[in-house]
Amino acid sequence: MPLYTYMEYDVHSDNGYSYCIKMRGVGNKEMSKGGDYDFFEIHHNGKMILRYNPFGILYDNRYMTVNASKDYFIKVPLSNGSFALFFGGWFFGCGEAPEMIVVVVSGDKAKVVFDDNAYSYKYTSGENFSMEYVDDVEGLYDSYTVEFTENFLKPRTKYKIWREGNMLKYKSWK
């Protein structure tokens, strides 16, 4: 099947290394009106350093940023030459949260360090990046308003990813 590039983004590390992030698809020449895509690639110095096929359809990051952003990824600087990229999945409206993929990029290497379900209920961008989320959203859309109430969150395992210095940290709690 033919592969198509829907969008390309130039991204730079703090020390000036340049990368090209490509949102790609299979079979369709153009991205759907919904804005979803099949997989992504990261290129550095004209060479592909990562191609990643998720378990679901990829989408913008609205479910990771509590609708604060509809960009196709979040970039979190870690050190002068490295950063993390967060990619979001499509929400199908069932009990599973959308997919979230975290890639760490450094020099000529890119590695997926996280791929699981995540629907964020708290998000802070920028230098103090943090995200709190759940992976189970069964019943979230039972009413006309989507609210992460204390009653909704209490029985679920909650997770947090945040930037501390030049690292991403992770924890979970009930």
Q: Is it the case that residue 156 has pLDDT exceeding 90?
A: yes
Chain mean pLDDT for the chain: 93
Whole-model pTM: value is 0.94
- The answer to whether 36 and 56 are in contact (CB under 8 A) is no
Check residue 64 and give left, alpha or beta (phi > 0: left; psi -120 to 50: alpha): alpha
| Best CA proximity match to 137, nearest among 122, 123, 158 | 158
The residues facing 89 across adjacent strands are: 58
Note the pLDDT tens digit of each residue in 117-144. Answer: 999 999 999 989 999 999 989 878 776 6
Cβ 99 vs Cβ 56: under 8 Å: yes
